[in-house]
Amino acid sequence: MAGQSIAQKIIAHALGREAVEVGEYVTVSADHTVCQELFWPGHKRNLERIGVDRIPRPDKAVMVIDHSTSAAMGSHHHETHRTLRDWCDAQGIENFFGPGSGLRHLVMVERGFARPGLLIFSDEGNIASLGAVGALNIPISTEVIVSLIEDRNWLAVPPSARFALTGTLPFGVTARDLIQTIIRDFGATDRLLGCCVEFTGPAIANLSMDDRQTILASLFHSGAYTGVMPVDAAAMAYVAARAEGRPYRVVEADADADYVLEARYDLSAITPMVTRPPDLHGGVPVETVSGQRIDQATIGSCAGNRIDDMRAAAEILRGRRVARHVTLYITPGSREVYSAAAREGLLEVFSDAGATVLAPGCTTCWGYQGQLNDHEVLISTQQFNYQGRNGSRLADVYLAGPYAVAAAAVAGRIIDPRAMLAVAA
């Protein structure tokens, strides 16, 4: 048997084995299963049909209300919030996080549930961001209830790919521009389909923990199944501050591990990117779409709502005003991010610039807030840009990093953000 990748080692450990084969079907017990509320009504009906009274490991469940951050009049979300809270109370689930706590992606890492070497089942692929601390996320969609009911579920051991990162991101370029470049290169192919992508290389040491989460959060648009970053000194410090004595184990791939694909990216060659609608792989250099008028701009979502994103937006917005015809929404990703932004004076910068700051959560990314009319144009740090994602199917959504989104909000049109940054500097 060839050497083991990080994904193989984590899955093998969960099985109590030394090794597993790529493609092998195994049944494992995860360290945690994390769910959000949008799917809860369906989960609840299924649990009632099955007749489940008690789940065996309530301590492993993490339940987060992160999409519908408020229960507006006329919506059904107030019912979902109540029934999920009541079910968690009845089951003895202490790890329940209500509206405004933040996205489960951040809750999992900030609260120390995601730690090196842990295996986590979730209901979405974009929670691969847990790999920034060396945890392995396995997205299993609606089958998360199987994990809750049985404390186990099956999976196929994924193949692994390896991406080597060199160089340093240039002035005005962010980790979001890197992942949009990767999605451009792989999103329309099946080359990464079902893979766990291991990132490696000297450039990672220059990426913040927020940068690493940003890259992994959007990785599934490239076709990948999940992804992990190396647990270096920065990651260890982050984990140590949050683990609270809970165990973890740093996992490294064997030198002779097998990879179905290897790629290399020089970060110094990355430029500000904008993804044109409606394809997620439609990334182009910002100058290609420069001049495109916008009506709305949003900074948030699991792809762009961490404190680094808030700081980047403030660099552009400080001392400037949002264009009169533009609405700018900014959503911190969690209470921790919100509090940090408040302490640093960023919320005041946003308010003075004319932006609206929303409660931590998914908010504008899935169109819960900030709906678009026919023929309106949005530029956003969010995950998706398909037609109808944010209201009208006749609206257009462009995707970009926080610098480009904030700069467009000020200019009223898409521009290269580096000009504004140079003045701000």
CB atoms within 10 A of CB 351: 13
Q: What Cα–Cα distance (Å) separates residue 301 from each residue in 250, 333, 352? A: 28, 7, 22
Categorize the per-residue pLDDT at 425 as very low, low, confident or very high, splitting at 50, 70 and 90.
low
What's the pLDDT score for residue 39? 86
- Structure confidence by residue, pLDDT tens digits, 11-42: 999 999 999 999 999 999 999 999 999 888 88
Sheet containing strand 196-200, strands side by side: 226-228, 196-200, 160-166, 261-266
Fold match between domain 6-266 and domain 273-417: yes
Q: What is the pLDDT of the chain when averaged over all its residues?
A: 95
CA nearest neighbour of 310 among 286, 345, 275, 285: 345
The residue with greater pLDDT, 369 or 71, is 369
Q: What Cα–Cα distance (Å) separates residue 118 from each residue in 122, 242, 247, 251? A: 13, 14, 9, 10
CA nearest neighbour of 335 among 81, 3, 100, 8: 100
Domain boundaries, the chain: 6-266, 273-417
Which parts of 37-98 fold into alpha helices (H)?
A: 40-50, 77-91
What's the pLDDT score for residue 316? 98
Q: Tell me the percentage of the chain whose pLDDT exceeds 70.
A: 99
pLDDT at 74 over 70: no
- Structure confidence by residue, pLDDT tens digits, 193-237: 999 999 999 999 999 999 999 999 999 999 999 999 999 999 999
CATH of 273-417, one of 3.40.640.10, 2.70.150.10, 3.30.499.10, 3.40.630.10: 3.30.499.10
pLDDT at 82 over 60: yes
- Structure confidence by residue, pLDDT tens digits, 303-326: 999 999 999 999 999 999 999 999
DSSP H/E element including 186: helix 175-186
- Structure confidence by residue, pLDDT tens digits, 174-192: 999 999 999 999 999 999 9
pLDDT at 73 over 80: no
Sheet containing strand 119-122, strands side by side: 96-97, 61-64, 32-36, 119-122, 136-139
Contact 250, 117 (CB under 8 A): yes
Q: How far apart are CA 148 and CA 29, in angstroms?
A: 10
Return the residue matching tokens 């932004």.
341
- Mean local confidence (pLDDT), 359-384: 92
- Structure confidence by residue, pLDDT tens digits, 48-71: 899 988 999 999 999 999 888 877
Say which CATH topology domain 6-266 has: Aconitase; domain 3 (3.30.499)
Q: How far apart are CA 282 and CA 267, in angstroms?
A: 20
Q: How far apart are CA 293 and CA 315, in angstroms?
A: 22
Which residues partner with 416 through β-bridges? none
Residues 215-239 as b/e (b if ≥16 CB within 10 A, e otherwise) read bbbbbbbbbbbbbbbbbeebbbebb
CA nearest neighbour of 323 among 421, 406, 267: 406
Q: How far apart are CA 273 and CA 288, in angstroms?
A: 9
Contact 303, 217 (CB under 8 A): yes
CA end-to-end span of the chain, whole Å? Answer: 54
Q: Tell me the percentage of the chain whose pLDDT exceeds 90.
A: 86
Categorize the per-residue pLDDT at 424 as very low, low, confident or very high, splitting at 50, 70 and 90.
low
Q: How far apart are CA 374 and CA 387, in angstroms?
A: 11
Categorize the per-residue pLDDT at 90 as very low, low, confident or very high, splitting at 50, 70 and 90.
very high
Q: What Cα–Cα distance (Å) separates residue 362 from each residue in 16, 66, 211, 304, 370? A: 37, 6, 19, 11, 12
0.85 surpassed by pTM? yes
- Structure confidence by residue, pLDDT tens digits, 402-421: 999 999 999 999 999 999 99
CB atoms within 10 A of CB 59: 11
Contact 100, 69 (CB under 8 A): yes
Which residues partner with 296 through β-bridges? 327, 378
